Structure 1
Amino acid sequence: MKTKRTKKKLTAEQKAAQLKKHKELAFRKKIHSSFTEAGFTYFSTLGKHFSIGTRIVELDYLFLHENIIVICEDNTKQKKDINHIRNKNESFAEIRSNKTAFLSWLASTFPEKAAMVKQYLPERYFLYYIYISQTELEITEEEKKRYSNLLFWDTETLSFFNRMAQCIQHSARYEIFRYLGLKNDEIGFSGSEGGKTTIKAPIIYPQDATGLRNGVRVVSFMMSAEKLLRTSYVLRKDSWEESMFLYQRLIEKDKVKSIRAFLAQKGEAFYNNIIVALPDNVTFEDDTGNPILVENIGDFQHCKLVLPDEMNSICVIDGQHRIFAHYEAPITEKYELQIAPLRKQLHLLVTGLIFPAEMKEAERKQIQSQIFLDINDNTKKVAPNVLTHIEMVKDPFSDIGLARRVIERLNKKRVFLNCFELSALDESKIKVASIIKFALRYLVTTTPAEEKTSLYAYWPGDKEAFQQKDETALNDYIEFCAKSIDLYFSAIRDAFKLAWNDPASKILSVISINGFIIAFNRQLNKYGVRDYPFYSGCVRKLSIDFSKDGFPYTSSQYRKFSGKILAEAFDFTDEELETT
């Protein structure tokens, strides 16, 4: 009779080590799948040291697609290692300088893939080196410039590309190409001239039929799903881009899969239109091929729309899921054999906006984001975080727009570094919608209520330029607000270090943060904007239990908590509390 084996009980240290190992394996798998799911070929270079130039080099990962080589380095350390970064930066410089020798090593080391490596001449290959950290890397812009041979991915960027690869598989490579700044003629064999797509009989709306009075023209046409996949891009607010002009939500995997199943089973296109912004270099021709100026387009009944066949040139405002449901996948994927011919065969109805060449980028994106909001707010409830982001795009000078920009700036400063949930890819971070809506907007507004004040009154910048909506003045005001708030909260952090560093504490809850912000705003009329010693001396007088069970305030008691702060820390009398 077999004796039952008793499972050995692990110590706390062994459990921690096991958990750490599992997380590292998941992290490395994420890097691998982000590229292989997107259609890149993986070369198992780990552990293979080789001499290149003056160095001995080892590569964690290498991925190849046509003539595009992406080398990745993973970093599982808790803190950034500048020596490690410097070493990789110098190693990649040697690889770039000795490209022919590097490709020869690659072909000889992986003979089964040598034909892929030798498909192009060495000068045709584009090489990139991506440094990916498992934790927040906290690398400054100056350091990025210093180690310019490297591209840096934080945890959110990796999660974004991984999610795209999981959702749309091989078609995700276009997003990678856009990140790398690649153009059509740089991928594969070079063409002699740029391609174009000529669309016959588009529907061109007269200006008085659209109601638009800003020079924007509207045109509708049919376009194959394959060309849309190749030429379109989406301004996703939770992506790798840092522009403020981002407004769409991340792609939803389940939604794409359900649409893909419908396409495979029905073989039919959707009749509701895709909304896009067309590139500036679209042109129109009459039946004989002569160009037509867009401002005169209403005078022509028969014409052709000529679109540049350029990757990432058409901005999708609405309909991304209907486009990306046609994604390219390996033939082993459940529906790929049915979808592959449909990508060319099925044409989707597209309505495109043509903006006046002189229209500023900010105005264009404000129009796009408003269209997105008008469509989606009536179909599916838009998340509060997305709404505040869109408000920032629509009107950066509004109180909501200013507060959102200040939050993003604070997220890059010392006290709240990477603490805020600015993306759907952020996990377990501080949610910002309620902070913006109920507290911060009133602190940064340029038009406070009667007898109230805001940081705008204490900003020494160019208010006249700000009122003229000057971008430089706006950035200066955002920086002033962020610095003032960062200084104030640095005093709070230093006064309550134990609570600040305790994940179970309520000091970094929305309730607490809003109370402190409201108190900061209410004390402005009495003290104005002061220095660190002043704030430190004040908040150290505050007696409050920030433990989970001991913190007495709820989400509806922001002002009540701010009153306690003002009374204890800022010596406000009962009369002052009633009048502020």
Structure 2
Amino acid sequence: MARLRTKTKPKRKKLSPQEKAQSNQKKEIRAIMKNMGFDRLSYIDGKHFQYDGRSSEMDDIYINENVILITEYTIGDPGTHLFKKKVFYDKINESHKAFIDFILQEEKLKSFKDYYENNIKLKYSKNELRLKILYCSKKSISTEHKNVIDGVVFFDYHIVQYFKSLTKAIKKSGKYEFMEFIKIPFEHFGNNIKNSSSRSPQTFKGNILPEEKSKFEEGYKIVSFYIDAESLLRRSYVLRQNGWKDIENVGHYQRMLESSKVTSMRKYLHDRNRVFINNIIATISTDKIKLYDKDENTLTIDSNGQFKNNNSTEISPAKIEIDDSCNIIGLIDGQHRTYAYHEGDDSYEYKISSLRKEQNLLVTGILFPQNESQTKRLKFEANLFLEINSNQKNVPSQIRQEIELMISPFSPIAIGKKILAGLNKSGPLGDLIEQYWYEKSKLKTASIVSYGLRPLVKIDDIKSKDSLFSLWSNSNKQNLKLKDSTDYELLNEYIAFAIEKIRDLLIAFKAQLATDQWQTYSPSQSKGLLSVSFINGILNVMRLLIENNKVNDINSYKSKLSGVDKFDFKKYKSSQYRKMGQEIYNKHFK
């Protein structure tokens, strides 16, 4: 009897590291787009075509209502790749309508025509469509290169991670912030574009709390009002308003939303069917709000935050009119309670979609005087955040350091944070230090700043002779000691000086260690030495060099450190970096 042959599965092709990285990049961005409600067209990737005499292709097309995103992925050299795409992008941006007409006729891109016929044609005219080019690079793109190409939205990797975390927690409600990122006014998105001219502010009932009742600084007004969850969601932002606009702000003190916490709150809303009773603490852009007294008279606030036509020191009933715009209410506390109402895709959405419109949340909003500086506003928010959270749970040291960077920029902790960021930009520690919450297998910053850098950079040259400040020869350096100093230029000079001196010593250490030793330590990486303890040990060597007047140049350090590759760095526990530094100094410098 003949033996039955079993059909063997064809072996899946093993991806190269580069192919794997490209695949992971696409998966991340596709997940973000799906969470926000964008549809991805099939059969687009790899289809070569000729447009206006230029041969090109697209990696993905995403569509949400009337917004079309032409998407490109790259993990290689973004400069070289970007310039290759420039001519094609310029041709698209000459006329979005002409390019849409082209892809409707191009047989190789038939999936666009099918989607257009079924989902767009009867809803939006071609003039109502909004097309954007989304360029996604895994590597950083210089500002110089970005400035060469107009009409392209650069979805930098740290911003990808920001929206990945955001949309994982709040799904489709992430579209409000994303539309601002890709520079499409929300009134131009979806059905809004059909009635954008008639969009008007909404009015909510509430009360005004004057400074006399709040004990805040003069000019700081407090308004409390009830607002339905849907209207609040549309206007709110999670971090600072510049969360994705500025690299330094992406890892800001205001914690990202925790998906598990949002989910548990959605379950509460679904099961209990009742509103959260705690109030939401927020700041509101004063140019986006108008106040009226109980008789409907406008309450005008001058640039100092004072009412021009009402000097009442009592709590006053009022109507609060807030523009129907995105990202104008900054949530200092209560972001999870707010975003529990998000537009999701879970089993709770059917019920919560009704609660979003029905249930009202109590918001306590802080109005800053118009002439208040951005720095003072941020310091106020940071301090308030600490006050609120100090009674709830311990604020992690990383968050405290980021707050200190804003509240006290001249403190050793803040200076240490800046120095560590500078060391991460180039040199032996280039791109090895954790800057964002999503980075793995990099050096954690909090302990390096607190225990390694703070004593090394303290602004003190009298009591301490082991600080870089005592070594710094700038004739004006004493100005950094002044209370409430604002000499940021001098501060930046000191930071640059400290980075240079520390980097010199690090360069010498790296030169005397094997390549596989100068890697971040992990249990699976047997030879990698780079750990928080290792870096703090070297920083303590620097303190001893300063104290003993032995600070020198790179070549001198290299000579002294000959044979340091045989030093048993790993025998020192995490808290023994001071001992490590002393023994390295004794063996190689003393």
TM-score with structure 2 setting the length: 0.86
Q: 1:483 to 1:129 in 2, by over 3 A?
A: farther
Q: What's the secondary structure of 1:303's corresponding residue?
A: strand
- What secondary structure, in the 3-state scheme, does the structure 1 residue paired with 2:570 have? coil
Q: How many angstroms apart in 2 are the aligned matches of 1:33 and 1:356?
A: 41
Q: Check conservation: 2:208, 2:318, Cα contact below 8 A.
A: no
Matched to 1:390, the amino acid is: I
Query: Contact 2:171/2:343 (CA < 8 Å) preserved in 1?
Result: yes
Q: 2:228 aligns with which of 214, 224, 241?
A: 224
1:568–1:325 CA distance, 2 compared to 1 (3 A): same
Instruction: Output the CA distance in 2 between the equivalents of 1:465 and 1:129.
Output: 48
CA–CA separation in structure 1 for the residues paired with 2:400 and 2:451:
14
Q: How far apart, CA to CA, are the structure 2 residues paired with 1:501 and 1:510?
A: 12
1:79-98 equivalences under 5 Å are: 80-98=77-95
TM-superposition CA deviations, 1:187-233 (whole Å, max 9, x none): 34162266312122x12223122221353221211111101110010
Which of 487, 497, 518 does residue 500 from structure 1 map onto? 518
Is residue 2:282 matched to residue 1:276?
Answer: yes
Q: CA–CA distance in 2 between the matches of 1:238 and 1:102? A: 32
Task: Find the counterpart in structure 2 of residue 562 from structure 1.
Answer: 581
Where 1:390 maps in the other structure, the secondary structure is helix
1:42-97, Cα deviation, whole Å (9 max, x unpaired): 223212223223422211011122343322222244xx253222112332222111
SS of 2:197's equivalent?
A: coil
Superposed displacement of residue 259, structure 1: 0.3
Distance 1:462 1:35, change over 3 A: farther
Q: 1:243 to 1:161 in 2, by over 3 A?
A: closer
Listed as ranges, the matches of 1:188-199 within 5 Å are 188=190, 189=193, 191-192=196-197, 195-199=200-204
1:461 deviation in Å? 8.0
Alignment match, 2:51: 52
What is residue 255 of structure 1 aligned with on the other side? Answer: 261
Instruction: Look up the equivalent residue of 1:219 and give its one-letter code.
Output: V
Are 2:21 and 2:75, in contact at CA under 8 Å, matched by a contact in 1?
A: no
CA distance in 2, matches of 1:375, 1:128: 41
User: What is residue 320 of structure 2 aligned with on the other side?
Assistant: 305
Q: How much has 1:162 moved relative to structure 2?
A: 2.2
Letter in 2 for 1:460: N
CA-to-aligned-CA distance 1:139-194 (integer Å, 9 cap, x gap):
43333334455444454432332232222111111221232244333434162266
Give, in angstroms, the shift of residue 341 of structure 1: 1.0
In structure 1, distance between residues paired with 2:241 and 2:529: 28
Amino acid at match of 2:246: E
Q: Distance in 1 between matches of 2:151 and 2:320?
A: 41
Residue matched to 2:412: 399
**CA distance, structure 2, for counterparts of residue 315 and residue 214 of structure 1:** 21
More moved, 497-506 vs 203-212: 497-506
1:540 aligned residue: 562
Instruction: After TM superposition, list the pairs within 5 Å mapping 1:417-436 onto structure 2.
Output: 417-436=430-449
Given that 2:544 and 2:582 are in contact with CA atoms closer than 8 Å, whether structure 1 keeps it comes out as: no
Write the letter of the residue equivalent to 1:426.
E
CA deviation string 1:506-526 (max 9, x = no partner): 531111100101211231244
CA 1:102–1:275 in 2, change beyond 3 Å: closer, same or farther? same
1:41 paired residue number: 39
For each residue in 1:225-251, what CA deviation from the matched residue of structure 2 results, as whole angstroms up to 9, or x when unmatched?
101110010226996443646311121
Contact 1:237 1:250 in 2 (8 A): no
1:553 correspondence with 2:543? no
8 A contact 1:461–1:476 mirrored in 2: no
1:278–1:138: structure 2 CA closer, same or farther, 3 Å change rule? closer
Greater shift after overlay, 483-492 or 231-240?
A: 231-240
Give the letter aligned to residue 489 of structure 1.
L
Specify every segment of 5 or more residues in structure 2 that has no aligned partner in the other structure, as ranges. none
Deviates more, 1:33-42 or 1:270-279: 33-42
Deviations 1:413-435 (A, max 9, x none): 23322211222211111111110
Aligned to 2:381: 368
Secondary structure of the 1:256 match is helix
- Which of 344, 358, 367 aligns to 2:357? It is 344
Aligned to 1:576: none
Distance 1:316 1:306 in 2: 18
Alignment partners' CA distance in 1, 2:39 and 2:69: 10
Task: Provide the rounded CA distance (Å) in 2 between the counterparts of 1:6 and 1:545.
Answer: 58
Counterpart AA for 2:500: K
In the TM superposition, 1:564-579 aligns within 5 A as 564-569=583-588, 571-572=589-590
**Normalization by structure 1: what TM-score?**
0.87
Counterpart of 1:162 (choices 139, 161, 164) is 164
Distance change in 2, residues 1:383/1:237 (3 Å): farther
Residue identity matched to 1:488: L
Partner of 1:130: 134
- Distance, in Å, in 2 between the alignment partners of 1:74 and 1:127 is 17
**1:510 pairs with 2:532:** yes
Q: Percent identity?
A: 29
Return the alpha-carbon distance in structure 2 between the equivalents of residues 35 and 351 of structure 1.
33
Residue 377 to residue 2, structure 1, CA distance change in 2 (3 Å): farther
Which residue of 2 is the match for residue 575 of structure 1?
Answer: none
Q: Write the distance in 2 (CA, Å) between the matches of 1:316 and 1:476.
A: 35
- CA-based RMSD of the aligned residues comes to 3.1
Cα distance change on mapping 1:41 and 1:542 into 2, 3 Å: same
User: Would you say 1:485 and 2:517 are equivalent positions?
Assistant: no
3-state SS, counterpart of residue 46 of structure 1? coil
Asked if the contact 2:513/2:564 (under 8 Å) is kept, the reply is no
